[in-house]
Structure 1
């Protein structure tokens, strides 16, 4: 929406969390663990589809990890052709993930590494549809088409779907674990290893016999449906235990290629006749880690630089192929192997437009930005090379911001893409927590930007954790936050560790909501309406504008609250509805899931778009509150 229409409507109902809330002690020493999976042989498939490098890849990654402080007993290897390693079939992979998850504790660091074949298939069972209708799959050793498979579905057994990977990563993050996932695989649709389509067998025969290049993409229809397997893959459920969405402040992923591309394995380093076949991403990561990068962003930038000469060589040899572009996502500015127990928040990257010496962004105060806030600027050149500079925001409005191009990037006129990300949490938003002697802050706290938590040893704090007779008490010191969180002024005494975690997370969110309240300045969006209705069975008892519902009477037995939202503004709006229970838990009302869009459909005054939200947990007189942002 344009800046002039981005108004906020904030409705708070009663007070949050009255009443006493046990001390959560300091965490044990954080551990570093890794699961390395390399699938060279597909037991149910012809050997022409097998690979050479995955067994070498896991050996190389194991060596590199041990050089960086990983204990041998904390690195699990599943690979064919590797002494002492279990075979990488689907059941073994699932069991290894379960064991690793059970061992992990808040503040730990986990690497999930996979090397082998990838493919894409149609997956009607997924909860959401991707633009191309295809789902990425990693092939375990027992991968094959299900009996009777055919048509467009081509269901697989012995594979991990993209949603399975996402579920496992989310399960680790829910325990406060930092997850780095590396996928040296590809998800090809039209290319496989060997002779490229449109190429010639003569050209392939002319290549040196000892310098073979193989590509890690398989079309699903190339896989056989029959064949023996070392496990009953059809009965293996690869999905992770269900977990609620977690802000990805403790997550980084490296991918060898985009979803439609293939990635090669070849002898690396180039020109070394004693070199073994390796996956390009694995080799580049191992080489780059030897250069002592400080962060994941530094590591990935060096990976990209190592890709370039190899890709240039392959372009000359395989002019008909689309060669891979490595991809990274997540909190890239986190220190390498960041097993920190300190609270962390996500770091968004916003696209920017350059005009002369200035960069302009379509985000502003409503997104957590402040004047003079330090930001990191990344210029991505046409060849994929990235250049980084630091600067400060010069001008910040509600929905826009402007910053000068850092001096270090002033000459990068050929940059194809510009992106800006915050270096730290906004000072006015971050929840400042002070822990007295003997008290502790829970490890592994993860938040979504701009909410953040900073632990102070001294100075002004919003919240203080004190030790009262062996138990923790949480005192709200900030008058502004106390007015939103608790009218009584009494300290909270959380009954367990999880309650303390949730309390701190809720207070951090509340501080951000308080900032939005300031920005709203009582503004209303014309044509937008929110009403809290009270029902007893099918009988409407009363209807109160949400802005006035704070003073409504307590619910009687059998009554329930319903929020009715109507949009007659003539345009679609960005809508967020969040509730805070009397116990401190945050309720995501709209959108119903973090992965869904928050765009509310367009309506007119004559025909407003409307929706009803049941709020069984809301009772204003018992401390619940509701936030509506439009």
Structure 2
């Protein structure tokens, strides 16, 4: 497919000034945005808030990129002018798109709301497409309860939209030559873990089959029909059919983005995290739209890597988005030109720019003030720094930067342009506490009070911890269950629900909790001081691992990433060899091996560090090999190392590859000192644990990214970082 470049300073359609309006001029852009927040037929606890905000913001993103307003259909409750997202309306709009699709159409489907599963009916012609014996279903506003079919032929959830119904409509679109980008921000099942309301700001877009009245016996009968060893993924939801007509169905091209695997929930929460005016959004939709609103032109595969990396920066380890399609390496929406992130200055009562926290413009970011939208940085009048970020605007103040003295507000004329030159990063760990299920009297009260009331620098060594109020979202939630204190990721609730279908999964769920999460138990002789020290060390490790992923998300579009080609080959313990596909999250088992090859394809030398991050906050240096070994790759040079998987830790784990362009006569940039051991589940006794004497030195690894004033600074443009993710399973 060929694209015509549109200069980024031109305004096209509804595109905002200074955006990268580089949509392909030869394509006809159309969109169907579905957001189901209210469910009159479901329990009050299952109502959502975020889908209406997701589709409203997505409509704004599409308008910003030049998609004509008349080509965007919105089905959502609580959105002015939108029709209700009922089953009839959703299927009717899908049929309209499929019936009128043409070869030059580019169709965006965004569906946000609840998802669930129901058993495949006996004799269903779609049974072969459901290896787990279950249909994935999307719940429209008028969804009802389970109804048994006459004659003992199973049953169905009233008005549910089946995966094969969406798939059939998508097949019809691509069969005409249209391109389809499907974005599905809903959960398709909840078979392993579910939220228990650990945070008032986080809720799961999932409805269990039991909530819909599906009989447990029907669920149990569905499971044995699944072929042995089959692992179902969300790719079955709307991926094109696999029959003889699949070639024709795929000829238009497709990219499918799923918020979660079929065995996972997906969260919605109030975002941006910590912002006083935050609103509810699906986490998946929010992160993806931040990438669309700003950042370099990218392929769908690069966008998928960005999303996975941002999840890591938010300490989100229990939800694994999935990406599939026939054209993941093509440009997102035809945008093959780099985005210029710049905004016009305004001055009502104070100097501002028209972007804020929703566009990932945070306090501390630096912008160059330019006389025109097409000026180069050499023409900068001066520089400003964001002093306060609202949701859609940001207050800016003049600063000294790049050798140019600080200007006054009047010297920075209103109507000029502020171009982002330095993004800010936050290096703090927000921590929530939930002791509701703690055995009384709760032994964790005293040590946690000790940590919360500690003076700055005396609580959690080497970490900037922000203790949040009960019910607010947090990077880590310290949750007591009985006599154990668990370090929970933000979207895992206060108890595990290992009792869902099938019952045989309960033992596996318990084992998953033990091997993927950290817990602390207090012995009878443990003092509050020893307990506080152990909890503090665990939070210190969690903070360092989260900060490393935050750096990665800030570097996702760095030019240095294109200079170091990283390829990963997976060899199973049975000897089968496959290539790691960027943007996918493979499932690996004990004994599997990964061969990682690093190649410098650029013209300058690069210093490379590869760090393995396990699910228990362990960081292991994989490259360079050993203390003092060289990690500098000269131009056209390559090196490799092998990584063997072990199941002593389970869950989402990552390999982070950091590359820094080498400067002449400079020391090597080697981040191996960031290594830290995996956290064990501990029992604190009288003796406690010695403080980590190397912690302060290791924390210097982040000193490059923080100023003396405590305000985050940007990472050098010479630095890039790539992240590869996988699930370790048993």
TM-score bracket, shorter-length normalisation: 0.3 to 0.5
CA radius of gyration, larger in: 1
